[in-house]
Amino acid sequence: MTEQMHQIHQVIKKGIDDHNIFGASYSLILPNEIESRYEGVQGENELAIALDPSMIYDLGSMTEVIATTTRIFQLLAIREVGLKDPVTKYLPGFKNAGITILHLLTHTSGLPVEINGTNHFTGVEFTNALYNVNLDFKPGDHVQISPLNFAVLGIIIRAVDGSIDRTVQDRILYPLAMTNTGFNLNRPKIRFVPTRKDAKRGQIQGQVEDKLGLLLNGESGYAGLFSTLNDLTVFIEMMLSRGSYQGKEILDPQLFDVIERFDIDGQSLGWNRFEEDKDIFYGKSPTGIIAFNLKKQQGMVVLHDFVEDRDAREEMANGLLRVIK
C-alpha cells in the first residue's frame, strides 16, 4: 500500500469507527499504477455483507459531473450549445430569460435551492414550477449551489438529444466500457449497496435516494446515476488524460484549458475546485467523492453508503482531497 493509499484508508477507517459509514470502495489513480480497496460491509444486520468489486452505488449529485457536465462539454465542442446561450433558446417556456448555460454550470443562475411543495408534486408539476420559479438574485451575481441548475441542464440535454439516459449511454458510458453505470440500472437488488434507511421509504436499495431524482423518474441532470468503483476509476483515468481513453476521444482536450481558467468562488464549469489546492477538481455527494489533479496526474474515487451528518461529510471529503494535493 502506498503512503497516499494509507492516508485514504485512515480517513475511511475513521468514518467506519465513528459510525458514519459501514464501509467504502475506493481507488487511487497514480501516473503508473491504480490501487483499489474494499473496506467494511454494505450495512447492518442481514446487510453486513463484505464489499466487493461487483457492488453498485447510488452516486447522487456526482451525476452532475459524470453525466451532465460531460455531455454539456461534448455539446459545447460540436457547437450544439454555447456557454452564453440563454436557457430560453432550448426551453422557450422558461420564464427567466437572463439565465445562460454558463450560469447553470457555475451555480450562478440565481435559482433557489429548492421549490416549495416539491414533496407533493408530480414530475410534470415540478417541471412547470421550475420553468416559472422566482430567482433569489440576479444571474451572475454570486454562487449558490442548487440542484435546480443541473435539473435544468438535464432538461436541456433531453431537448437537444431526445433522452438523457440514451445519450449518456451512447456518448459517455459505452465508449468508456462503463457497463455497470447508468440511470435506473436493471441489476439484481443484492448488487446495490443500501444507501440509507428512510422513515417513509424504508431501506433504500437499488432505487434513487434523492427526492428530486425520484420525482424525475430516476433520470435527471442532478441525480439518478448508479455505478461501480471500477467504472468510475475508468472515468477519472479519462479526465486525467484530458478527455481520452484507450485511443478514444470522449472530450475535446481544449475544454480542460477552459475549466482550468474558471474559478468563481471555488466553482469551475460543473466541477468544484478544492479550496486548499485549486489544481484539484472534484464532485461529491453524501455517498462519495471523485477527484482529479491534472498537474500531478493523480485521481481518486471513494464510494460508500449515505453519510447523514453534513459536518462529517465535509471532514471526510477534505481529508480525502488532501491526499492528492
Summarize pLDDT for 89-132 with one digit per residue, the tens.
Answer: 999 999 999 999 999 999 999 999 999 888 788 889 999 999 99
Calculate the average pLDDT of the chain. 96
The 3-state DSSP class for residue 24 equals strand
* pTM recorded for the entire structure: 0.97
Note the pLDDT of residue 246: 94
The CATH classification number of 3-323 equals 3.40.710.10
**Sorting pLDDT into bands at 50, 70 and 90, what band is 29?**
very high
User: What is the rounded distance in angstroms from the CA atom of residue 33 to the CA atom of residue 56?
Assistant: 23
**Sorting pLDDT into bands at 50, 70 and 90, what band is 11?**
very high
**What is the per-residue DSSP string for 196-235?**
EEETTTEEE-SS--SHHHHHTTT--SSS-EEE-HHHHHHH
**What is the per-residue DSSP string for 255-309?**
HHHHHHH--BTTB-SSSEEETTEEEEEEEEETTEEEEEETTTTEEEEEEES----
> Could you tell me which of 199, 204, 166, 196 has the C-alpha nearest to residue 182?
166
Q: Which three cell numbers stand for residue 138?
A: 440576479
Q: Which three cell numbers stand for residue 143?
A: 454562487
| Tens digit of each residue's pLDDT (9 = 90 or more) over 214-267 | 999 999 999 999 999 999 999 999 999 999 999 999 999 999 999 999 999 999
Note the pLDDT of residue 105: 98
Instruction: Enumerate the domain spans of the chain.
Output: 3-323
| Tens digit of each residue's pLDDT (9 = 90 or more) over 153-186 | 999 999 999 999 999 999 999 999 999 999 999 9
**Sorting pLDDT into bands at 50, 70 and 90, what band is 287?**
very high
Q: CA angle at residue 70 from 102 to 207, to 5 degrees?
A: 110
What's the maximum distance between 2 C-alpha atoms anywhere in the chain?
55
Q: What's the whole-number mean pLDDT along residues 208-219? A: 93
**Is 245 in contact with 292 (CB distance < 8 Å)?**
no
Distance of CA 177 to the CA centre of its chain: 18
Q: What's the whole-number mean pLDDT along residues 43-62? A: 96
- Residue 283, φ and ψ in degrees, nearest 5: -130, 145
